[in-house]
Amino acid sequence: GAVVSQHPSRVICKSGTSVKIECRSLDFQATTMFWYRQFPKQSLMLMATSNEGSKATYEQGVEKDKFLINHASLTLSTLTVTSAHPEDSSFYICSATGAITDTQYFGPGTRLTVL
């Protein structure tokens, strides 16, 4: 299957700082990337969908000014959590689909802890 990477895998930051998470498709061109958040023992909740070169589409209840998404190329999307607070602590996972596959392939996830 297709390979998607995320960086960093784990980050600890102070409240009020911003954190950037990168999602890369390594062996295919990702026309669409998705960002999810998962709290312990809960399922994945879609935060936003981004298409290369376009503004991201955010799900209801997700603040677009707090969770900045950029999808500048067919292999890279970034999620920036601005002015992070302890309640933003979660597991953030990206996934990607391409022109040749409808299946979403997931990155390994980023564990964010805000102190």
Partner 1 sequence: GQNIDQPTEMTATEGAIVQINCTYQTSGFNGLFWYQQHAGEAPTFLSYNVLDGLEEKGRFSSFLSRSKGYSYLLLKELQMKDSASYLCAVRGDYKLSFGAGTTVTVRA
Q: Which residues bind partner 1 (CB under 8 A)?
A: 1, 6, 32, 34, 42-44, 46, 49, 91, 93, 102-109, 111
Of 5, 4, 13, 9, nearest in space to 113 by CA: 13
* Nearest CB to partner 1, comparing residues 29 and 83: 29
SS3 at position 72 = strand
Nearest distance from C-beta of residue 47 to partner 1, angstroms: 11
Cα 66 to chain centroid, rounded: 13
* Nearest CB to partner 1, comparing residues 82 and 89: 89
Nearest distance from C-beta of residue 85 to partner 1, angstroms: 22
Of 46, 48, 47, 52, nearest in space to 29 by CA: 52
Nearest distance from C-beta of residue 54 to partner 1, angstroms: 13
